[in-house]
Amino acid sequence: MNWLASILPAVAVVASLSAAAAPAGPVQDSAGRAVSLFMQSCVRFPADRTALQAWIKQAGYPEVPADHADEFLNGLPGAAYDASGGSLSLVIVSQDSGSCSVVADHASGPGLVRELDRSLHAANITFTATDDPPDPQTADLNNREYTVPAQDGAWHMLVSTAKDPAGGAALLTTNP
């Protein structure tokens, strides 16, 4: 899939963060905070970069300096914003293509998936989800793909979480 290829660099960042991240408080709470931010930003404004950026500005999240933002953008046009709070590092990545991601430095993979599914149902968002087969390029990650039907065609989400049972970094992405 073309959109999947566009976020593989960010998945690699998640994998590297997973290796270095240490639990920063309750992992389950981190999953809930990451999903909440994802629902408020990327899911609320799928493929609407202008509305997303207006929301980010209103929320007061500062832009990540360009030299660090490229770690999340991998040379693609866009911007990254620091949405961290307390001991949990969260970054919103807004690509000019309309793709949006939330990167969390530490969360429980199964807890994050359960919370996202619950949140999507609570928001009355219809979706189908499939667990992707293992990928040698991202062997340390579990990938789950979501398809959300829309009037002008479906949009997609990919959730990548560390396979480590203790948790690790997570990436939640929407794509037009």
Give the C-alpha distances (Å, rounded to integers) separating 116 from 19, 35, 104, 127, 136.
23, 6, 14, 11, 25
pLDDT band at 28 (very low <50, low <70, confident <90, very high): low
User: How much is the pLDDT for 66?
Assistant: 86
* pLDDT tens digits along 135-154: 788 888 999 999 999 877 88
Give the C-alpha distances (Å, rounded to integers) separating 75 from 51, 72, 79, 104.
23, 9, 10, 20
Is pLDDT of 2 > 50? no
Full DSSP string of 40-64: IIIITSTT-HHHHHHHHHHHTPPBP
pLDDT band at 15 (very low <50, low <70, confident <90, very high): very low
User: How much is the pLDDT for 137?
Assistant: 84
User: How much is the pLDDT for 110?
Assistant: 92
User: How much is the pLDDT for 135?
Assistant: 79
From 10-14, 105-109, 138-142, the region with the lowest mean pLDDT: 10-14
